[in-house]
Amino acid sequence: MKIRTPLLSMSLLLLAVNSAYADEQEDMDRARDALTKQDNDADTERALEQVFEAAEKNYSLLKRGGFGLNYNFDYSYYGDQRIDLTIERQGDTSVIRNADVSPVASHTFTNSFSLDYGLADNITVSGRLPLVAKYETEQELSAYGIGDLSGSVRWQPFEYIPGKLSQTFFGSLRLPTGVSPYEIDEDETLSTGSGTWGLSGGWSVSKVLDPVVLFGSLSGSYSLPLTGLNQVKGDSLLREVNNGLGLSFSMGFAYSLSYDVSLSASFQGSYNYETEFVLFTPSTGTEQTSTVAGQMSGLMNFALGIRVSPKTIANVNVGFGMTELSPDILLGLSLPIDISAVKPSEG
């Protein structure tokens, strides 16, 4: 009896953990998506460009009437372990007959195109089109399609002065154009978008200390509530999603090894406040609210910038997550596309 009591306690504990994991897996996936790197953060790509070019401009943004088109490839990998238990009840005790621990992997490939336009020498507007491909090994699910479109504006209030701090304010709007995670059959397919409208804004700073650029940013984000849902969740229906606020910061440095090569390292931390899910159970006619606690994420990123032509800089980056909800592996490539033929003449 002294042996069966600890076994019963362990069995019930493992069963409870496994059940809670299944109920909150989608919430964790949503948190992972929300805690990934945002387009408007002070990133290594812009820092590397400043290493090469900042001293040549009064402003570090596009000149008035200028166009810029960039291609970005990003890959992220999440690895996890799932526990499948077979528990049999024998009298007053429960016995674990089988405990299978299987590895689960999630792969996300994103090809995106960003178009920038200079409204003024110190104001740049941008649009981003992402094409997303996902694959998950546990149920062998996959999804291909357009992600969430987004638009942003960046404003640099003061001219760039060598040796002085450069400041940029930014804001962005995210459109729920991708496949929503709240409108799919989770046993059949994966989502390619967040499912909600999103707003974000913040402030970034940088300083050139030849041959080094220091940079950082602070930003906040908010996803609008989502109502009118009817997604099946076990014996209940998901009716509403109320996302919490998000805060993020990043900091790092870029170092110029030569006129053609530059290296950088950066850290990004993000925090998402709690999220509420409103569930309706038809069998009982009751409605209940499930709350997911706030989540913290940390990412470390390293990048290499190479000047491949007098006006073109290619960036390659690799990174890794520092918390459970962060990607285990991050890979990226950024390459400007020459569209000089469509630019207006200086005259």
pLDDT in tens, 126-173: 999 999 999 998 888 999 999 999 999 999 998 877 778 889 999 999
Residue 20 pLDDT > 50? no
What pLDDT band is residue 57 in, cutting at 50, 70 and 90?
very low
Q: What percent of the chain has pLDDT over 90?
A: 47
Average pLDDT, whole number, for the chain?
Answer: 80
pLDDT tops 50 at residue 96: yes
Q: Which of 30-44, 239-253, 303-317, 325-339 has the lowest mean pLDDT?
A: 30-44
For residues 110 and 327, is the Cβ–Cβ distance under 8 A?
Answer: no
Residue 279 lies in a domain: yes
Judged by average pLDDT, the poorest of 74-83, 103-112, 204-213, 276-285 is 74-83
In the chain, the percentage of residues whose pLDDT exceeds 70 is 73
Is the pLDDT at 340 greater than 50? The verdict is: yes
Pairing of strands 198-209, 165-174: antiparallel
Greater confidence (203 vs 138) lies with: 203
Beta-bridged to residue 343, according to DSSP, are none
Q: Provide the Cα torsion 135, 33, 176, 62; round to 10°.
A: -110
Task: Decide which of 213 and 18 is more confident.
Answer: 213
Q: In this predicted structure, what is the pLDDT of residue 95?
A: 55
Looking up residue 75, the CATH number of its domain turns out to be 2.40.160.40
- In the structure, what pLDDT confidence band is assigned to residue 98 with cuts at 50, 70 and 90? low
Q: What is the mean pLDDT of residues 58-83?
A: 82
- Asked if residues 249 and 208 have their Cβ atoms less than 8 Å apart, the reply is no
Residue 286: strand, helix, or coil: strand
Residue 53: inside a domain, yes or no? yes
Number of folded domains that form the chain: 1
Note whether residue 143 is domain-resident.
yes
Closest CA to 153 of 264, 57, 39: 39
Tell whether 230 is covered by a domain. yes
- Structure token digits, residue 107: 């792969």
In terms of residue numbers, what domain contains 97?
4-342
Q: Please report the pLDDT score of residue 109 as a whole number.
A: 97
Residue 244 in any domain: the answer is: yes
347 within a domain of the structure (yes/no): no
pLDDT, one tens digit per residue, over 228-282 is 999 988 888 999 999 889 999 999 999 989 888 999 999 999 999 989 999 999 8
Q: Which of 21-25, 96-100, 205-209, 287-291 has the lowest mean pLDDT?
A: 21-25
- Stretch 76-84: mean pLDDT: 73
Give 55-60 contacts, CB < 8 A, sequence gap 24+: 55/162, 55/208, 55/210, 57/160, 58/121, 58/159, 58/160, 59/121, 59/122, 59/156, 59/159, 59/160, 60/156, 60/160, 60/166, 60/168, 60/206
pLDDT band (50, 70, 90) for residue 300: very high
pLDDT at position 312 is 80
- Using the predicted structure, report yes or no on whether residue 17 has a pLDDT greater than 70: no
Identify whether 220 is part of a domain: yes
Q: Which residues contact residue 82 at a Cβ distance below 8 angstroms, ignoring those fewer than 6 apart?
A: 21, 101, 102, 103, 104, 138
Confidence of residue 103 (pLDDT cuts 50, 70, 90): low
User: Is position 208 within any domain?
Assistant: yes
pLDDT of 115 above 90? yes
Please, which pLDDT band fits residue 25 given cuts at 50, 70 and 90? very low
Is the pLDDT assigned to residue 211 strictly greater than 90?
Answer: no
Q: Say if residues 315 and 334 touch (Cβ distance below 8 Å).
A: yes
How much is the pTM?
0.78
